[in-house]
Amino acid sequence: MVQSLSHVNVKSATVSRQFISAVLPSRREPLTVIKLSTDVNCPAAQSLDHRPRLGELVACQFAGDGNYYRALVVNSHQELFTVAFVDFGNQEEVTRGMMRSLSQELKQRPCYAVRVSLEGVLPKPLTTSAAKYLNELVGKETPLTLDYSLLLSEGAILVEEGEDSITVNQKLTDLLIPQWERDLADNMDPTGKLFISWPV
């Protein structure tokens, strides 16, 4: 269970769904053991002998590096399946041939990515500046503090650790405002020229 004021690192982010997946630094060592166990045992194993069921925990090959990781089947469409990699937070569409059975021991280990809804961050199309900021958080593994109320449904607040204590929620909210909307608020048209609105 993640506690309020836990120290986390963002491993993947999807603002359109209002979620950021966070991995607790204190869990990295056991996570390495799971990753190695999954990757060593799965390539030699046969593909699943059944159609994967929604909610089933499997070993799945990640296209980015060819390694196998624990994944939860979250959706299916004909022969394509959407899986969520439960130790990293990212999702990917895969085929049944990329999935293997997972040992009971690996199924019983806790998931190391925690899906977090961010308080006050509305689901909007991702702007270039918001995407750049999220990529920086992920790429640099920026240390963050996760703070939430007793009601997780209200969402959590992520704060960058350091001298400035930047609130990720507020920064994302600001960065999700498209440039054209900022220009209109400043009485500028998209070409940068000042415009005057006449009362009707």
**pLDDT tens-place string over residues 66-81:** 888 889 999 999 899 9
Helical spans, DSSP H, in 2-41: 28-41
Pick from 63, 90, 108: which residue ends a domain?
108
Q: Which residue has the higher pLDDT, 98 or 144?
A: 98
Q: In CATH, what number is assigned to the domain containing residue 51?
A: 2.30.30.140
Which of these three, 108, 134, 164, is where a domain ends? Answer: 108
| pLDDT score for 2 | 47
**pLDDT at residue 32 in the model:** 62
Task: Supply the pTM of this predicted model.
Answer: 0.61
pLDDT band at 35 (very low <50, low <70, confident <90, very high): low
The pLDDT, as a whole number, for residue 112 is 75
Is 190 a domain residue? no
Per-residue burial over 115-144, b = 16 or more CB atoms within 10 Å of its CB, e = otherwise:
bbebbebeeeebbebbeebbeebbeeebeb
Provide the residue type at 161 as one letter: E
Per-residue confidence (pLDDT) for residue 16, from 0 to 100: 44
Across the range 104-128, mean pLDDT stands at: 81
Q: Strand, coil or helix: what is 6?
A: strand
DSSP letters, 42-107, are TTTSPBPSSPPPTT-EEEEE-TTTS-EEEEEEEEEETTEEEEEETTT--EEEEEGGGEE---HHHH
> Is residue 197 one of the residues assigned to a domain?
no
